[in-house]
Structure 1
Amino acid sequence: MTTSTSKEARKGSLATLKGLLPFLTSYKKQIILAGIALLVAAGATLAIPYAFKQMIDLGFGAAGAKSSAHIDLYFLALFGVASVLAIATAARFYMVSWLGERVTADMRSAIYRHVVTQSPQFFETTQTGEVLSRLTTDTTLIQTLVGTSISMALRNALLCIGGLVMLFVTSAKLAGIIIVLLAAVVLPIVLFGRRVRKLSRASQDRVADTSALAGEILNAMPTVQAFTHEKLESQRFGELVERAFQVALQRIRARSLLTVVAILLVFGANVFVLWLGAQAVIQGSMTAGELGQFILYATIVAGAIGALSEVIGDAQRAAGAAERLLELMAVRSPIQSPSQPQALPPRTANGASLALQGIGFRYPSRPQSPALLDLSLDIRPGENVAVVGPSGAGKSTLFQLLLRFYDPQHGSILLDGVDIRKLDLHTLRGAIGIVPQDTVVFSADAMENIRYGRAGASDEEVIAAAKLAAAHEFIEKLPQGYRSFLGERGVRLSGGQRQRIAIARALLKNPPLLLLDEATSALDAESERLVQSALEAAMKGRTTLVIAHRLATVQRADRIVVMEHGRIIEIGTHASLTAQGGLYASLAALQFSQD
């Protein structure tokens, strides 16, 4: 996924953060409760300076028993206000922290749900490490924003506004002067804030780069070590980490400067105004209690503005993260289920029929290179068709179109007479079982890996599928049998064992159409014999399409389709194609002479 330069990416942080509203509106009750607690806490805070004024002017200004009574009363009132402040602050903290955690969890789930529905076209241009960075680093920044920064921003905005109002109530003259001075402070804060936002976005991009590289290399560690590139890859990663650190350092410097400028300007303005207030007390135009009240409200306003500058920094970082998350959520897969999908006809005892009509296809990432050209083929229910040809002929591309990972630019594919573009994606893919050339084994035990073919299958059905795929014997010999953990990407198994797990998974699914992409390529001779015989039994009652480079595995196919450069150039049985003396005969002569 490339970095967007659209108008939306250039909007201000507040406009960007509006995209988070759909995640917040589901929790109106919690937001209202947090708002009430926020208002109570802000009101209690603003009441404290007034209590101090009353205590100074009336408590210390009176004499004797009256003075003692006033002091006791105002100290009790002050403690009461502090108690209200403590309870309201705790309630606010709980509610906003809950919201932060809840919204972050919802966003992570929503993004993951969205990503797993994307077509392979999306993953051609997006590194998985970058997506993981969105799910972790970027959503953590959103959590900070929702769970802390928004609450702090609202609290300090209320304190700032309330404090300013009380400053005017206390002394309109001094308040007017401080407002003019504070207005002059806003401009540098805004300018520095924009700089921080740009650097925050750049910093997150660099972090995503490091995550993407780390994910790619860790998944290819055997290859890295086989070519002794550990030092080289460590150096590459170190360079990216250092680049991310340098960008982060620029952000930290800018934010530090923003903090220094904001605090110095705000408190400098306050000190000047307070000096004027001290002169007013000396001249008798203001009481000591009023000056104390003014000082406290000025401190509240200054602290609120200083805290807002800090919150702005968090908001800028979160805005960068929100942009990236919303960009990811805005990606739409070109492969979608129709709004009113058709149903497949009832399954027959022989399997499904398949028809390819004038298929033309080019990969979106390689639009200049045709992968399939005017390809037409009719396959009868229960037929076993092998597809052979040199590398790059388009065999695997054909399987990807059948699963509707991509749509052809020309032509149509019919499954049991229904255009697959008119089927719900789950209906289509539920009718197809596949054993891919690159076997995927998940970080789970053998039982769950096979059960991935049909989630509701019983243990007995899983074991039956494993026996059919000649996998039962080696699974039983594992330390915990079917409950043995197979390691990440199945590293505890050999290539042939992984492939038999994948075959068992496909057989457990029991689909009417079975796609075998080099299903026996990683097997030794004995295992291949076992699996081939199991597959022949499994092919009964279903339509099978087999890709194979090893022609010995397809000699007994009902028909053999020979492809080259995206076209079908020959169709026939092994005997008829060998007699024709074409490409298949050449491939067969080459392989069998080597055997």
Structure 2
Amino acid sequence: MAGWLWRDFIRKRAWWLAVALVLMTIEGAMLGAFSFLIQPLFDDVLIAGRAELVVWVGLAMAAVILLRGAARLSNRIITAHLAKKTRAEMQEHVLAHLLRLDLGFYQNHSPGHLIERVQGDSQAVHALLRGLITGVGRDGASLIGLLAVALYMDWLWTLIAVIGIPMLVMPMLALQRRIRAKSAQARRNAAEVSNRLDEVFHGISTIQLTGTEARESGRFHQVVEKHRRAATRTVIAQDAAPTVMDVAAALGFAMVITYGGMQIIDGDRTVGQFMAFFTAITLMFEPVRKLSALAAQWQNILASAERVYELLQIQPHITSPAPPHAPVPGRAACDIDIRGVHFAYGREPVLRGLDLRAEAGQTTAIVGPSGAGKTTVFALLARMVRPQEGQVLIGGQDTAQMDLAALRGLFSVVSQDTALFDDSIRDNILMGRPDVPDAELRAACEAAHVTEFTDQLPEGLDTRAGPRGSALSGGQRQRVAIARAILRDAPILLLDEATSALDARSEALVQAALERLAKGRTTLVIAHRLATVRKADRILVMDHGQVVETGTHAELLALGAHFARLHALQFADG
């Protein structure tokens, strides 16, 4: 795990890290220098009364303190920059990886858990650079410097002072294992908290309309309590490590004061030697405590790093095949063939030997009851999912042999749940295409009837759409999606219940825009409202994962079977 963090995120910044380590060493070593100056302060200045050394000892101590402060500040600036930069890089790396994963992955991992992985668990690399490495460098240098001074003053005193430390090895190892387990549990609980918040904020309208605020507060209280208990146990375990070291410190201090005090009384050692030693040992136990706490922090870092690493090991099942790729058909040749396709979500079969054909340049409607597999057809076409059996062909070419990006470039999609982002309406239409001329953008907006409402807004196209497009009405969101599809100018248009949630006026505007958009394109339409597919060149009726009827609107009504029954149910009142 440490090797992965070093190789992928830290090694590229090794030079700056080396500079920071030098500064940490200077900062830590100054404690040893300060304790060393205690001996001349007592023996030569305070006891012997050598006035000529007062200024020099004072200046030396001031220089040590100033140098330590300058090294500390410089080190903090460098490590803060390194830690923030590296954490941001890890977050970007994890998100880039997540964007490559298949829809099946997202069906099993909630948004809140993934947000915590990207934001919370990436804190591991920040803690590693900002806390752990800084602590090891600074406190390690302090420990070495102070230990050197203590040994210089009296090696036997030093041995007596640290005699209790070896007895703590086994308890400390057991404590580290406990910290790692508790840290991992706390991270999982934190993900549950994030997931619950995500669900509450996205479902706020439903919660308020159903009066379930108290219920949601209670559910949130439960997950917060689980996280609080796990996090508290982690903190207690981490804080126990320095306390265990205090046991060794207490034993060592009692023994060295007894033995050293007797030597001073007998005249074998000077007061200055003892005070320098005592200062070094006193200061030494502080970095020892910090290093033991850092050992606990390392377990916490490992728990988070392991979660990130496990996520990065998940590979997408749907990728571009090895070259050479099947050629992408031109606009006039985008006929669609689905042959003998079987597909299931888990153990639930959705498509059962589906055979389907849509002619290039025509509008083909797919209708049928809920659960018939209509939306799954769209996912298969764009290889968002892959069939267990059968083939999907476009222009006579197997889509599994096409370059994935080129394949998905064949499609424009307008669905009932239009995906808009908390950016300007302009950015939501352009979707990463800043090179589109203003005239072309304006034409697309006019064709999609977007200008009918944006021209009335103070900021026009630069008005923000709000989170998930919440600042716009349903009809406005659909028109933005249509303008996006017009600019995309893809040869195949997929319409998934694009007008089902709109009022009569909005539906008329959106329907008119869709009809203009569909001209010259291979268009597939999913619709529950049969009135919206009257003009389709061909209608496919699906039931239980198969096409059970094919024909025009009039032909299917005359057939008097599945389509006719669906039609009768919808128009029974009129």
TM-score (structure 2 length as normaliser) = 0.93
Cα displacement string for residues 303-355 of structure 1 (whole angstroms, at most 9, x for unaligned residues): 1111112323333322222222222222222222234362644634x362222
Displacement of 1:124 after TM fit? 0.7
Match for residue 154 of structure 2? 171
Counterpart CA distance in 1 for 2:71 and 2:450 is 63
Counterpart CA distance in 1 for 2:277 and 2:494 is 80
Displacement of 1:515 after TM fit? 0.4
1:49 aligns with 2:35: yes
Cα displacement string for residues 161-188 of structure 1 (whole angstroms, at most 9, x for unaligned residues): 3433443333222222333322123333
Match for residue 263 of structure 1? 246
Match for residue 37 of structure 1? 23
Residues 343, 349 of structure 2: 8 Å contact kept: yes
Match for residue 458 of structure 1? 437
Deviates more, 1:54-63 or 1:312-321: 54-63
Counterpart CA distance in 1 for 2:10 and 2:239 is 31
Please list every run of 5 or more consecutive structure 2 residues that lacks an aligned counterpart in the other structure: none
Residues 195, 254 of structure 1: 8 Å contact kept: yes
Cα displacement string for residues 477-502 of structure 1 (whole angstroms, at most 9, x for unaligned residues): 34433233332222233322222222
| Change in 2 beyond 3 A, CA 1:493/1:187 | same
| CA RMSD in angstroms, aligned pairs only | 2.3
Q: Secondary structure at the match of 2:220?
A: helix
Displacement of 1:443 after TM fit? 1.7
Residues 267, 302 of structure 1: 8 Å contact kept: no
Residues 242, 290 of structure 2: 8 Å contact kept: no
| Change in 2 beyond 3 A, CA 1:259/1:346 | same
1:72 aligns with 2:55: yes
Displacement of 1:249 after TM fit? 2.6
Cα displacement string for residues 125-161 of structure 1 (whole angstroms, at most 9, x for unaligned residues): 1111122222333333542332123211222123223
Counterpart residue type for residue 38 of structure 1: M
Displacement of 1:594 after TM fit? 3.4
Q: Secondary structure at the match of 1:371?
A: strand
Match for residue 375 of structure 1? 354
1:583 aligns with 2:562: yes
Match for residue 455 of structure 2? 476
TM-score (structure 1 length as normaliser) = 0.90
Q: Secondary structure at the match of 2:364?
A: strand
Match for residue 19 of structure 1? 4
Match for residue 344 of structure 2? 362
Residues 185, 266 of structure 1: 8 Å contact kept: no
Please list every run of 5 or more consecutive structure 1 residues that lacks an aligned counterpart in the other structure: 1-15
Counterpart CA distance in 2 for 1:541 and 1:581 is 32
Q: Secondary structure at the match of 1:441?
A: coil
| Change in 2 beyond 3 A, CA 1:269/1:396 | same
Deviates more, 1:95-104 or 1:271-280: 271-280
Match for residue 477 of structure 2? 498
Counterpart CA distance in 1 for 2:471 and 2:162 is 70
Residues 160, 255 of structure 2: 8 Å contact kept: no
Match for residue 8 of structure 1? none
Match for residue 352 of structure 1? 334
Counterpart CA distance in 2 for 1:51 and 1:533 is 88
Match for residue 549 of structure 1? 528
The residue correspondences of 1:168-567 to structure 2 (distance < 5 A) are 168-340=151-323, 342=325, 344-345=327-328, 347-348=330-331, 350=332, 352-363=334-345, 367-452=346-431, 454-567=433-546
Counterpart residue type for residue 398 of structure 1: V
| Change in 2 beyond 3 A, CA 1:486/1:359 | same
Cα displacement string for residues 438-486 of structure 1 (whole angstroms, at most 9, x for unaligned residues): 2222223322222228553233323322322233323333443323333
Counterpart CA distance in 2 for 1:532 and 1:439 is 15
Cα displacement string for residues 237-262 of structure 1 (whole angstroms, at most 9, x for unaligned residues): 12222222222232333334333332
Q: Secondary structure at the match of 1:342?
A: coil
Residues 465, 471 of structure 2: 8 Å contact kept: yes
Match for residue 141 of structure 2? 158
Deviates more, 1:318-327 or 1:448-457: 448-457
Displacement of 1:538 after TM fit? 1.9
Counterpart CA distance in 2 for 1:502 and 1:270 is 74
Residues 351, 381 of structure 1: 8 Å contact kept: yes
Counterpart CA distance in 2 for 1:227 and 1:170 is 76
Counterpart CA distance in 2 for 1:579 and 1:504 is 37
Deviates more, 1:558-567 or 1:413-422: 413-422
Counterpart residue type for residue 23 of structure 1: F
Deviates more, 1:353-362 or 1:207-216: 353-362
Counterpart CA distance in 1 for 2:311 and 2:397 is 33
Match for residue 551 of structure 2? 572
Counterpart CA distance in 1 for 2:443 and 2:294 is 60
Residues 354, 547 of structure 2: 8 Å contact kept: yes
Cα displacement string for residues 97-134 of structure 1 (whole angstroms, at most 9, x for unaligned residues): 22111111111111222222222111111111122222
Residues 36, 149 of structure 2: 8 Å contact kept: no
Counterpart CA distance in 1 for 2:36 and 2:174 is 36
Aligned residue pair count: 573
Displacement of 1:567 after TM fit? 1.0
Quick one: percent identity of the two aligned structures? 34
